[in-house]
């Protein structure tokens, strides 16, 4: 029995050494990914963002200032269907230094951001991003009960803000209210709006 255990242990060590050797001789460098960089960036961004969360009235007033960009980073599908009037689109997955500088050449530009989780009443064009954790079972006073953990907000605003900051854009403001899509203060545009706009037909001359 002892010899079998020794043999099994030896085999495991040989396999582990072989795997380690393969890693050491990999022709590829480590991926351009750094969780430490991201953690440091998040810690730096948090107090900066906290001072730049604005309500809808402030958002709309700022949007009228010369040179201000309303940035929508949702999918092209949802942007084309419906977005805040005057917004500029760049899909979050297309964020690079070059792509951002094409639409926002100056780091001093005031940027206003919003996402799906800012609007309520339209789950097609502004589908809420919310994580629903699985219910966990706990024994409470001898009774087995299902405990539902709190939903996790997965709003696109957060990574958008963090990435803009990381790419050098610090003059960023984020809409911080959950706004009804029917709110008369805000105007939308896109294919959905165009479909609802009646086409004027001129009478033919007789």
pLDDT at 38 over 90: yes
Whether 1 is covered by a domain: the verdict is: no
Whether pTM exceeds 0.85: no
Domain carrying residue 87: 31-120+154-194
Whether 85 is covered by a domain: the verdict is: yes
What CATH number does the domain containing 112 carry? 3.40.250.10
The answer to whether 82 touches 75, Cβ cutoff 8 Å, is no
Whether 137 is covered by a domain: the verdict is: no
The stretches of the chain forming alpha helices (DSSP H) are 2-24, 35-50, 56-63, 76-81, 97-103, 157-166, 191-196
Whether 132 is covered by a domain: the verdict is: no
**Cβ-Cβ contacts under 8 Å for 125 (sequence gap 6 or more):** 78, 81, 82, 190, 192
Q: So what's the pLDDT on residue 24?
A: 58
Per-residue confidence at 187, pLDDT binned at 50, 70, 90? very high
Count of structural domains, the chain: 1
Whether 9 is covered by a domain: the verdict is: no
Q: At residue 94, what are phi and psi to the nearest 5 degrees?
A: -100, 10
Q: So what's the pLDDT on residue 206?
A: 46
Whether 44 is covered by a domain: the verdict is: yes
Whether 190 is covered by a domain: the verdict is: yes
């Amino acid at each position: 029995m002892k010899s079998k255990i020794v043999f099994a242990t030896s085999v495991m060590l040989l396999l582990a050494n072989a795997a380690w050797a393969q890693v050491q001789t990999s022709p590829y460098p480590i991926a351009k990914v750094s969780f430490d960089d991201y953690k440091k960036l998040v810690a730096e961004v948090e107090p900066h963002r906290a001072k730049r969360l604005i309500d809808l009235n402030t958002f709309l007033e700022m949007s009228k200032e010369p040179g201000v960009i309303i940035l929508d980073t949702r999918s092209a599908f949802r942007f084309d269907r419906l977005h805040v009037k005057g917004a500029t689109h760049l899909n979050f997955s297309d964020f690079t230094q070059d792509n951002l500088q094409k639409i926002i050449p100056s780091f001093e530009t005031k940027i206003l951001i919003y996402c799906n989780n800012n609007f309520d009443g339209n789950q097609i064009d502004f589908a809420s991003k919310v994580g629903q954790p699985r219910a966990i079972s706990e024994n409470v006073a001898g009774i087995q009960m299902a405990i539902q953990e709190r939903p996790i907000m997965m709003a696109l605003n957060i990574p958008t803000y963090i990435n803009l900051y990381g790419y050098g854009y610090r003059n960023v403001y984020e809409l911080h209210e959950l706004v009804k899509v029917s709110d008369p203060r805000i105007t939308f545009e896109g294919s959905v709006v165009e479909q609802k706009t009646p086409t004027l037909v001129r009478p033919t001359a007789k």
